[in-house]
């Protein structure tokens, strides 16, 4: 169906681009669904829930792309009707997997999924400390080196080194040392390149930078990423990922991840609108620096951010006029999806340039913890520090009352001048102490099962 649509839309660049994207991401959806089907008999229900959640998200993304840019031809409408049915079937399957995970073979207890807004939290399997994070390995053996001095025998580009990694490797990691330097390139880690590790020489020293942005021919938000990772088990340390698209610019992603069980530590993400696209599956970010302004941490993954520094930067056009910035825009589309953003022990502040603007006229510079990109958006902040730039209301609507009855925006024991709860919007929540462990690394992304240690 999509291939037929692609052939008939050859003269329409917008339709051609969105159909090509659909073909790619529906392939990912099929892969995740197939792996889920093969794995479910072995009882790994948390894995299956994560993978089927991604499958649903990819289907929805294709539907959304066709709705936004596909036009109104009969073929497009027929394709959308097919996708709508597929999404419904996949969503039902995901809901049944959730019920099986919660109630086992007691099918009389199976029910539609409930969320925190219904007063429901899953019983955590562990009661450990919230600070669990594993440890980035310290004794990795380098398999490939990238450097600016090509005479030394190393790879000239990061992409060349990625291409040299074995496909579907599960026995060991493929470690790429990216030496100090600025690498102006677009990098793609495809789905078959598993367990790839990027080791840089430090934030600001090893820099991978690009400037793709929505509005350029053939570029959508998904494709605008400077670095995009699909292969599971991706790891990175000591690198700056940057999208340096200049004004006037729209969505311009520095880093996009669809890598399940990914671990990123001591990395920097620099951009403006849509800096970090945590698109799907389970991700962990530790001691990172994330900078932007409009919805600059977004996506539909289950991601934990621990000990990270989050910085608001000035808008690129007339920053002195003021703005409404949202740190997050989480995109959960289905209450059965185990996705959300969890921030633990993080700080939210502005860059020195932004704080100079803010302090000169604080009433026109407004910053929020998040806004609901999709209906079941979920974001929580636990033991974080909010500086004064965070508004008293805390959270920003997307449009009217969209998602305000279905989202979950939670806070727990945060500090700093921006953490005062007395004027918070009524549709945000305070996480009950007895349920805060539902958002631990162990329980939210099953980190104790897969996170690396120093060995």
State how beta strands 262-265 and 282-286 pair: parallel
What is d(CA 355, CA 361) in angstroms, rounded to the nearest whole number?
Answer: 10
Q: What is the DSSP letter of 130?
A: T
Q: Is 230 exposed, middle or buried (0-12, 13-18, 19+ CB in 10 A)?
A: buried
101 among known catalytic residues: no
How many C-beta atoms lie closer than 10 Å to residue 41's C-beta? 8
Alpha helices in 338-440 (DSSP H): 352-360
How large is the greatest C-alpha to C-alpha distance in the chain, in angstroms?
Answer: 68
Cα distances from 244 to residues 222, 252, 316, 433, 452, in angstroms, run 16, 8, 11, 42, 32
What is d(CA 150, CA 186) in angstroms, rounded to the nearest whole number?
Answer: 19
Question: What is the number of residues in the chain?
Answer: 455
What is d(CA 176, CA 349) in angstroms, rounded to the nearest whole number?
Answer: 33
Q: Which of 118, 274, 307, 448 is catalytic?
A: 274
448 among known catalytic residues: no
Side-chain-facing half-sphere of 427: CA atoms under 13 Å? 20
Sign of the four-CA dihedral 217, 223, 224, 227: negative
Q: Which of 232, 258, 260, 295 is catalytic?
A: 295
Side-chain-facing half-sphere of 293: CA atoms under 13 Å? 20
What are the catalytic residues?
274, 295
């Amino acid at each position: 169906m999509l291939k037929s649509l692609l052939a008939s839309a050859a003269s329409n660049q917008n339709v051609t681009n969105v159909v090509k994207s659909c073909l790619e991401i529906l392939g990912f959806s099929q892969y995740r669904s197939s792996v889920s089907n093969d794995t479910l008999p072995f009882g790994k229900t948390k894995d299956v829930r994560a993978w089927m959640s991604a499958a649903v998200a990819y289907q929805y993304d294709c539907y959304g792309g066709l709705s936004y840019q596909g036009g109104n031809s009969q073929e497009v409408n027929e394709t959308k009707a097919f996708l709508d049915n597929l999404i419904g079937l996949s969503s039902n399957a995901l809901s049944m997997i959730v019920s099986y995970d919660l109630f086992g073979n007691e099918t009389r207890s199976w029910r539609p999924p409930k969320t925190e807004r219904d007063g429901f939290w899953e019983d955590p399997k562990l009661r450990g400390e919230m600070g669990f994070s594993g440890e980035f390995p310290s004794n990795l053996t380098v398999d490939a080196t990238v450097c600016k001095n090509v005479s030394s025998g190393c790879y000239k580009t990061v992409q060349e080194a990625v291409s040299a990694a074995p496909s579907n490797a599960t026995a060991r990691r493929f470690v790429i040392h990216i030496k100090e330097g600025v690498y102006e390139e677009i990098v793609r880690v495809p789905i078959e390149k598993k367990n790839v590790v990027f080791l840089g020489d430090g934030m600001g020293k090893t820099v991978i930078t690009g400037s793709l942005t929505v509005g350029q021919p053939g570029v959508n938000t998904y494709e605008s990423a400077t670095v995009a990772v699909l292969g599971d088990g991706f790891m990175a340390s000591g690198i700056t990922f940057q999208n340096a698209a200049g004004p006037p610019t729209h969505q311009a992603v520095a880093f996009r991840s669809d890598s399940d069980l990914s671990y990123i530590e001591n990395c920097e993400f620099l951009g403006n609108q849509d800096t970090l696209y945590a698109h799907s599956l389970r991700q962990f970010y530790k001691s990172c620096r994330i900078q932007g302004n409009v919805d600059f941490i977004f996506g539909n993954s289950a991601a934990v951010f621990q000990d990270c520094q989050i910085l608001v930067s000035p808008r690129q056009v007339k920053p002195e006029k003021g703005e409404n910035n949202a740190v997050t825009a989480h995109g959960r589309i289905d209450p059965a999806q185990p996705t959300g953003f969890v921030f633990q022990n993080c700080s939210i502040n502005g860059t020195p340039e932004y704080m100079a603007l803010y302090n000169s006229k604080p009433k026109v510079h407004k910053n929020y913890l998040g806004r609901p990109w999709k209906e079941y958006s979920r974001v929580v902040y636990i033991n974080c520090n909010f500086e004064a730039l965070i508004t008293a209301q805390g959270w920003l609507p997307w449009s009217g009352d969209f998602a305000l009855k279905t989202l979950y925006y939670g806070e727990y024991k945060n500090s700093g001048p921006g953490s005062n709860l007395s004027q918070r919007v009524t549709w945000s929540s305070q996480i009950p102490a007895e349920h805060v462990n539902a958002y631990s690394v162990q329980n939210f992304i099953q980190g104790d099962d897969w996170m690396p240690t120093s060995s």
